Each structure stands twice: as structure tokens, then as C-alpha cells.
Structure 1
């Protein structure tokens, strides 16, 4: 891949499902970043003959990493976290592939914990407990103890999540000692980056997620079939970010495949063409590119350094009516039309409450609604309204009919771009990430691993 990817270190404190999958990819980074190690030439004949066959019944569910055992139970508990994050929408035929990926990720996590111990960097139990308690409080604010019940209910455990937290803390400690002090970004580099950003003002930027699967000419066919299965799972409701953290071979797997905001010119030609016509939320792929296949999702798009109307803060009044049980479609359509006529006749937000009373409608007010948080069709409709105007009626016979009246709008300020300090921090993060990838690659290369 020729795309510049920025993978931030994952902070503790996100939602439980986000965190539980994030650690699956925390150490599994791409092999092509950072300073390249000296390499010899690997010679592979064109006509390959395999001597012997792998036993399909030998699942190798456990491993011994430099003497430390990864048990089948640990693999099962991590699988349970991923399945829960995908709301159970993982096909039976995908489970073995998922187990193998999780085992690889657990091996990386074990190497990180071992390296911290070897360098006498201690992750104290109290730190792990505090992080776990913070997650519990965030996800179950009324009853933090409910976290333990939740983990047990889905087939995981407190120990599994705490080990995951320990791995993240150990890795961050190693990077703070061995990587961060040696990363420098000059003021000139930051200024050049900011000038390039200003020069691009008004051009479109795309917020894209990617799952990248590496392939050689010999492995193209099976990798393509694998990519198609991943696409189908996402279309059936599986989380794109969860699938990226589990299967992607790009460095962005640790952040759910998130490439951040980029211009299409930064993508390989094949991906730029595929992404050109996408609307937010749409998926495309697998797309063949040099080195493998990519699956893309368009998260959002915007104009560089230009105010986005969708960031406007709206003050709305929602007026709604319900239909009695047994209402026919014809009666509902007529009543919805009468309802719309009456509300439009209110002539503004000041009088809508009185009008609503006369027709038995309910009014709810909210003056802190961001336009982009609303469904697409409502966004488009509301942003075209003047004060006191309403959207067309929407709803169903079962849920009733609603209209939204615009009572106020605070438009966003023009984005002046990131501050100098923020840009420098972003560039430093990028370089730290590349060094971290090389560090992890070295740990894998020197590891002694036995499979059971």
C-alpha cells in the first residue's frame, strides 16, 4: 500500500465493545513501516511441490511464547468478546479463521508484556484495576459491578479483559521509554504541512475506513474469496471496525481501519476511482491494488478548511400525533395530511404549542441538536428550512407521525485548520507509530513459539 496511515496508540476508556476489540489489533501491525531491517533474498521456485499435508484436525488452539502459555480458554474468551462486538453476526465457517487471528494477536500481546518485564517496567495491579473500574463506570454508571456479569454472560471473563488492559499499559510504557524520546519533528516541517493544508482549502476530503488483505500472485484467488466473505459479513450487519481490527493487515487495524481524513489523490489510483462516487455509509470492494485487495467504507466527506453546514446547531420542536389501534392506511394518510396543514398554519414556533393542543398533538423541544446527528433525509430537509418552517410529516401507522419545526440555527464557524501544536502532535504520533511497528516486528522475529 502507498497510503500514508496514522495509527494512534489506543487510549483506555472507550466503550467496552470498542476496547475489547481494539486490543485484538493493538500489537498486530503491518510489516512494511519503520526502518527496514537487513534482508536476504528469499528464492521460491515457480512450480512449488508441497511435501506432506497439514492435518486439518490439528487446530493449534494454544501456544507457548518464550515459555509463557496461551491457553485455549484465553482464546475462547477473546473470541467471545469479538462475537459480542459483532452482535453474534459471525458465520460458523468464519469462527476457526477468527480463532487463529485472535491467537496471533494474543501472541503479540504476550510479547509486549514479556518485553516490559525484561526491561523492568512494572505494570502494577492497582493500575490495571483502576482502568478496569473506569471502564465499568463508563459503561454501567449506575452499577459498575454489572461489568463482571456482562463479561461472564457473553462467555468472557474479568481476567481476560484485565490481561488485555495490562498488555496495552505495558506497550505504552515501552514506547514512552524506547520510542518517544527519539522522535523529533521540526518547526519547519510543521509549517510546511500547514501550508500544504491551506493550499488545499475547498477541495474535498474523505473520511475512509479500509480493510487491507495482502496477496501474492500465487495467493490472489483465495485471498479474494476471503475478502468477499468479509464484505458479506459486513453487509449482514457485522461491525466494519471490528472486522478491520481482526482481519486487516494494514497498520490501521489497531484503530478499526480508520484512515482518517484524506484526499483521494493520496490513495492508489484503483481505490481513488472506487471511492469517488461513494456516499457516507456505503461500502465498496474487494478492490485489487498492488500487493493485495482492499475493502473501503466512506464514513463521511467534507471540504477542507470550509464550514460544514451539517455542523450547525439546531433548535427544534417536534410535534407528533399517534394513531388509534386498527387505523387503516387510508385513514392514517388523511389524518397525517390534516395534521401537516394544521401545524404549517401555526406560523412559527411561538404559536405551535397552542395549535398542537387543538388537534391533540404533543410538542417536545430541544435546542441542542447537531444537524449531522440526524438521519440523512432529515438533515437535507432541515438545512433548507427558514425559521418557523417544518419538515414534511414522517413516521408510520405503528409509531405515529411527526414533524420538526426549525426554531433556531447557529451556523458553524469557518474551520481555520489545526493549531501549530496539534499539527506537531499529529506528526509526532505518526512517527511514533512507525517506530512502534518496527519494534513489534523485531519482537516477533526473535520470539520462540511452540504450538500445541
Structure 2
């Protein structure tokens, strides 16, 4: 497969980790948490003979059970965190793919256990904290939302733990084997320079792979159903995080600005015919199907607005969910008064305190691409020092004060950025091959 995201920056070689389909990066929770996510603890790897007769078996993976309860919990999590409506028709459509994903996770977990790789609870807790920060919520609020939604925290916790462990398996087993030559970097640099005047596309991807061509028709049908759900309103980023098998899944499928030649041939041909905002039909390649979204298009090496840097302060005028119309109207007037008066983040905390229970949070620096789409839209055109339009949430009336905005610079990627990206792509490919080998050697029985 050709280089897909050579314009993306990477972390230093020594600290890089493979980005797999990861709930650690579930920034999509910020998009759908109002609908989100408790139940008794998720059953984990258990020997066949330890499962009670009352609990149905969905699959057996090398003598370890995936129960029907496990599958039901994961389906609920996938539906809620991807924004796909929870109804019998959609459950039937995704059940097979979700079960295959659970089988893969069991294989990954067993491989981590074979290599004595363990994930501490503290690491999982930190991942939850990151999810809470990206969702502008506390961990307690997320736990409550999970409980109210009927999905066990342990369901998400198990997925997070598995992702961390699998990343370590791939890094430990294959990281030392990956080398990126100077010639490879030179080739990418030369191609980017030659194509500097050609159109570039801001692209997100979903990749669904298959090992056996005999399964291609079934996978194609499932991929087409995902396309339909996205076109009906399911957030592309959330669907990518739950279903995509590309390294970009952890970023919601985002691969940044790319030229046609940086994509697999079949994908590049389709992207060149698309307009911003479009979602492709499934695109078949040798080993899988792609769904691509074109977010924007430009000619040249202009700045990537998704890399803009913001410093944001959240302010809140509390309201109870059952507040009467008069109270809501009063808060709305106060919000507009605050917006008219505020001119900096230095004065914002004092100004918001003028109103009963008004509160503010410390300013945080974020990259535009890590914000939910509706938040980026709210920030558009708002000058530094001013507040976004008020939004009614379950906590009251919320606004964001822009403390700083640094636009991304339009420039070619550095050699180090290209080197890092090529390294991560090779490591990701090795990870997919290793999982394919684990599938081939496993004994899996579907019930």
C-alpha cells in the first residue's frame, strides 16, 4: 500500500506508538455523549467450562469464550459511540462485524498474555481521564452516562486495555525491525515538491480488511451499510474509531492533506472525482474496502486549518435539566450580556461570577482537528477575547472564550515528519499481518 498520510507529523522515533483502532482516542464521545452509554461487569477471557449453562456462547476462541452478553454489550457500545441508531435492523446489520472484532481482540489479548505484557489499572484510568477531558466532562459524569445508557464501564475499559496491550505487542515485536531509509524519505520529498501545484484533499478513511477473497462479498455488503449510516447522520469519526482497521482509526480516520498519488490507486481515482463533503461508496483494493470522506480541497501547500491551535476557556451558567422557561430565558439574556462585555480571558472569570453560580474552567490549548466538528464551527469567525454563541447543555448554558488562536503555517513537511509517518505506516502494516497470522493459526468456533 502506498503512503497515505505523509503530510501528518509524528512523534520522535523513540516515543512512537502504533495507532490502532483505539477507544483511547474516542474523541467521538464528545460528539455523542448526550446519547451515550452500564450493566453488570463484562465477562472477560474465560475457559469454556467456567461459563454457566444460563449464559449463551457467541464464539469460542482457542478455548476461551465470547458470551452473548459480551457481544450484546459491545454492540450497544458501538451503536452509541458511533451515533448509529439503536434498533433491531441496525443491530442485525453490525452484529457479524462486531463479533469478528471481538474475536480479533481475544486473539490480540491472548498474544499479549503469551508475551507477558500487562496493562495496569492506572493506565486505563488515565485513558478515561483523557476521554473526559476531550468530552469536556468529568470521569464521574462519564460513568453516570455509561450507567444510564445500559453499557458497563468495564465494556469500554476492556477495549481500552486491549488496545494498549496490542500496541505494545506490535511495538515490542516489530518496532526494532522497522527501518526507514534516507532514499525513501527523499522519494517522498521529491514527489511532494513535484506535486506542489496539484490539488490536495483533506481526507478521512475507513478501512475494512478481509483475509480470504471468498469473504469479500460479505464484507462489501457490511461496508455499504456503514456508508448508508454515515450518510444518514452517523459521525464519520466515530464510525472510523469503532470499525476501521487502519492506523488512522485512532484519529477518527483523519489522514490529513494528501495528493492523489499518496493514496492507493483505486482510492486516489475516486477521491479525484469527489467534491468536499462527499462520502464515497466502498472502494475495493486487494485486501479490503475503503470508505473515504473528502472534507476540503485546495491547490498548493496552503495551511491545514485542522492544525490550527486554540486556547479555550469554558464558562458555564448552570441550569437544571427541568428548569422552567423563565429561568432558561434569564440565562439566555445573561449569556448574551456576558458575550457583549467579555474581551479577554483575563476578565472572563470575574465577569461570569456576576451571575448566580456562574463558573469558568482554566484555559486549555487544543488542536482544531481534535475538536468535535460542531465546536470548530462555533469557533469560526469568533475573534480572540470573545465568546462563542451559547449552547444549552444538560448542565446549563455553556460558552467558550477564545484566549488565543495560532493559525497553522502552510509548508512542506519536514524530513523527520515524513520519516515518522513512514515508520508508523510500516509498523501498522506489520501489525495487520501479525493479526492475520494469529487468525490463521487460531481455532475459532462461531455459535
Question: TM-score normalised to the size of structure 1?
Answer: 0.61
Inter-CA distance 282–365: structure 2 relative to 1 (3 Å threshold) = farther
Report what 1:124 is aligned to: 120
Match of 1:103 in 2: 99
C-alpha displacement of 1:96: 1.8
Aligned to 2:429: 434
Separation in 1, partners of 2:102, 2:411:
43
Please name the residue that 1:14 is paired with: 25
How far is 1:174 from its partner?
Answer: 1.0
Q: Quick one: distance in 2 between partners of 1:19 and 1:448?
A: 38
Relative distance call for 1:279 and 1:91 in structure 2 (3 A) is farther
Distance change (3 Å), C-alpha of 1:10 and 1:94: closer
SS in structure 2 at match of 1:299: strand
* Alignment partner, residue 416 of structure 1: 411
Change in Cα spacing, 1:295 to 1:218, as seen in structure 2 (3 Å) is same
Is 2:80 the partner of 1:69? Answer: no
Post-superposition shift, 1:430?
A: 1.0
Residues 281 and 299, structure 1, Cα contact 8 Å, conserved in 2: yes
SS of residue in 2 equivalent to 1:184: coil
- Whether 1:149 aligns to 2:160 is no
1:209 aligns with 2:220: no
Retained in 1: the 8 A contact 2:3–2:425? Answer: no
Corresponding position of 1:166: 161
Q: CA deviation at 1:259?
A: 4.4
Aligned partners of 1:268 and 1:103: how far apart in 2? 28
Shift of 1:206: 0.7
Q: Distance in 2 between matches of 1:270 and 1:211?
A: 14
Partner of 1:200: 195
Cross-structure match for 2:75: 79
Task: Give yes or no for contact 2:180–2:422 (8 Å, CA) kept in 1.
Answer: yes
Give the C-alpha shift of residue 423 in structure 1.
1.8
TM-aligned CA distance change 1:203 to 1:18, over 3 Å: farther
- 8 A contact 1:140–1:146 mirrored in 2: no
- Shift in Å, 1:214: 7.3
Deviations 1:114-167 (A, max 9, x none): 1111112222333333433443455464x4222222112222112111211210
CA deviation map 1:15-46 (0-9, x unaligned): 4645999xxxxxxxxxxxxxxxxxxxxxxxxx
Q: Distance in 1 between matches of 2:31 and 2:376?
A: 28
Give the match's secondary structure for 2:410. coil
> What's the offset of the Cα at 1:433?
0.8
Deviation at 1:416, TM superposition (A): 3.0
Higher CA-based Rg: 1
The structure-2 alpha-carbon separation of the partners of 1:108 and 1:99, relative to structure 1 and needing over 3 Å to count, comes to same
Shift of 1:13: 4.8
Q: What is the CA-CA distance between 1:9 and the residue it aligns to?
A: 3.7
TM-score computed with the length of structure 2 as normaliser: 0.61
CA–CA separation in structure 2 for the residues paired with 1:165 and 1:432: 20
Which stretch shows the higher mean deviation, 437-446 or 211-220?
A: 211-220
* Displacement of 1:265: 3.7
Q: Which runs of 5+ in 1 are unaligned?
A: 22-59, 315-359, 383-408
Cα pair 1:208 1:298 within 8 Å, conserved:
yes
Q: 2: CA distance between counterparts of 1:171 and 1:209?
A: 23
1:296 alignment partner in structure 2: 292
Distance of 2:134 and 2:305 partners within structure 1? 31
Equivalent in the alignment of 1:115: 111
Where does residue 234 of structure 1 map in the other structure? 230
2:352 aligns to what?
Answer: none
Structure 2, unpaired ranges of 5+:
6-17, 33-55, 311-336, 346-367, 382-403
Deviation at 1:89, TM superposition (A): 2.3
- Report the alpha carbon displacement of residue 252 of structure 1 after superposing the two structures with TM: 5.4
Equivalent runs, 1:17-96 vs 2, <5 Å: 17=28, 62-89=58-85, 92-96=88-92
Deviation at 1:275, TM superposition (A): 3.2
* 1:298 CA displacement: 0.7
Give the drift of 1:196.
2.6
